[in-house]
Chains A and B, each alone.
Chain A
Amino acid sequence: MHELSLAMEVVDLASREASGNNINNILSIRIEIGDICGVDADVFRSALEIASHHSILEHAEIEIIRTPGKAICRECTGEVLVTELLSVCPRCGIIPEIITGGKEFRVLSMLAE
């Protein structure tokens, strides 16, 4: 449910960038969502579609780039792909603690006219 608050932040962010750059219309927006950032990408997309009504993003194509979760296991010091916070290292069976990727949640760029 926090996806809706966050979608509203994106609409605000887009409005600010638009007014600062003399933009009339945003054609597309690229957003990066990491697999373990705590935000569900599908729910966020739906939330953004709703939050965009009557805003500068109303007609924008929403492009979501997913980045994989990565962490380093303290036992084997190998890098592990993690799909969720409780994923375990396949070699050691423990949860790798040092997260090195997948927590991104940001607006990358917008295409505007």
Chain B
Amino acid sequence: MCETCGCGQPGEYTIHIPGDEKINEQSHDHIYEHPHPHLHTHGHSDKREMKVIEVNRDILSENNLMAERNRGFFEGLNASCYNLVSSPGSGKTSILEKTITGLGKIKKIFVIEGDQQSSMDAERIKKAGAPAIQINTGTACHLDARMVNQALKKLEIARDSLVLIENVGNLVCPALFDLGENKRVVVISVTEGDDKPLKYPYMFASAHLCLINKIDLLPYVDFNMNKAIDFAIKVNHHLEFIEISAKTGEGMQKWFSWIG
């Protein structure tokens, strides 16, 4: 049992299209052959031969290689992919539902949903009118490139389409995992506090666009928009910003133009 987060077993995730049977995937299949690393041998008088194996390998290299494969897959189909990341409850799924309604007639949209458990988000996307696939990570707190690669094999993405990934709700861990997206979109809502970018700098540093959602609630919360934007720019001066309300539709056209 993990002392840090209480999980027990090495990663086993499931990927399924809502309505289909769940298929278990092993998270650790060996795909790449590694060249044999450089070996030194030290002789010892007790006859146990010890060797130093030079590895010099980035721990995220497996994920990054798989992410590049995903990237190549999207390029081959002339598809665009966006990775939406945020805390739980920022409104990612609602944003996607409204995006499908708003853009679905002019652009084919496919959605990859990530949650620890449940297919509720993928069901909502299906109801909104787009093909969706649900990845349930079990105990893992983020999607990785391997999971997305497996999901893509089942989803049958069309040419020139838009692939939207809704990552597991978590502003910490997904920051480190390239999924092969074109751009990363960090979503915050005005109910979360304007100091969010300072508290979670790695995520904001890794993103291209910050969507500030639920602006219809601004009159009722102590959220200073200028402060929030300033904080976010401190962490990442390339970040773009769009203020939206998925509920009322305000600002959504700007978002559609950005991803369209």
Contact = CB atoms under 8 A, between A and B. Distances in A.
Interface of A: 1-6, 8-10, 12-13, 16-17, 20-21, 23, 27, 31, 38-39, 43, 46-47, 50-51, 84-86, 95, 97, 104-113
Contacts of A31: 59
Interface residues of B, number: 45
Interface string B191-206: 0000000100110010
Given A95-B234, A113-B50, A108 B56 contact: yes
A106 B10 CA distance: 21
Interface stretch (B33-41, B104-112, B126-134, B211-219): B33-41
A79 B223 CA distance: 35
B176 interface: yes
19 contacts: A1-B173, A2-B177, A4-B4, A9-B62, A12-B28, A12-B62, A13-B55, A16-B34, A51-B10, A85-B202, A106-B56, A106-B57, A106-B59, A108-B54, A109-B52, A109-B54, A110-B53, A112-B50, A113-B50
Can you list the 5 inter-chain pairs with the closest CB atoms, starting with the nearest? A2-B173, A85-B201, A107-B55, A1-B141, A106-B58
Nearest to B197: A86
Contacts, number: 120
Interface string B85-117: 000000000000000000000000000000000
Given A106-B56, A106-B58, A107-B56, 16 more contacts: A6-B60, A8-B11, A8-B27, A9-B62, A9-B63, A13-B62, A17-B53, A23-B53, A31-B59, A47-B4, A51-B10, A95-B235, A105-B58, A106-B55, A109-B53, A111-B52
Given A46-B3, A46-B4, A27 B50 contact: yes
A85 B141 CA distance: 22
A5 B60 contact: no
B201 A86 contact: yes
A21 B60 contact: no
A107 B57 CA distance: 5
Interface string B9-28: 01100000000000000011
Contacts of A85: 201-202, 205, 235
A105 B59 contact: yes
A16 B32 CA distance: 10
A2 B235 contact: no
A20 B176 contact: no
Given A17-B34, A27-B50, A50-B2, A6 B172 contact: no
A38 B3 CA distance: 20
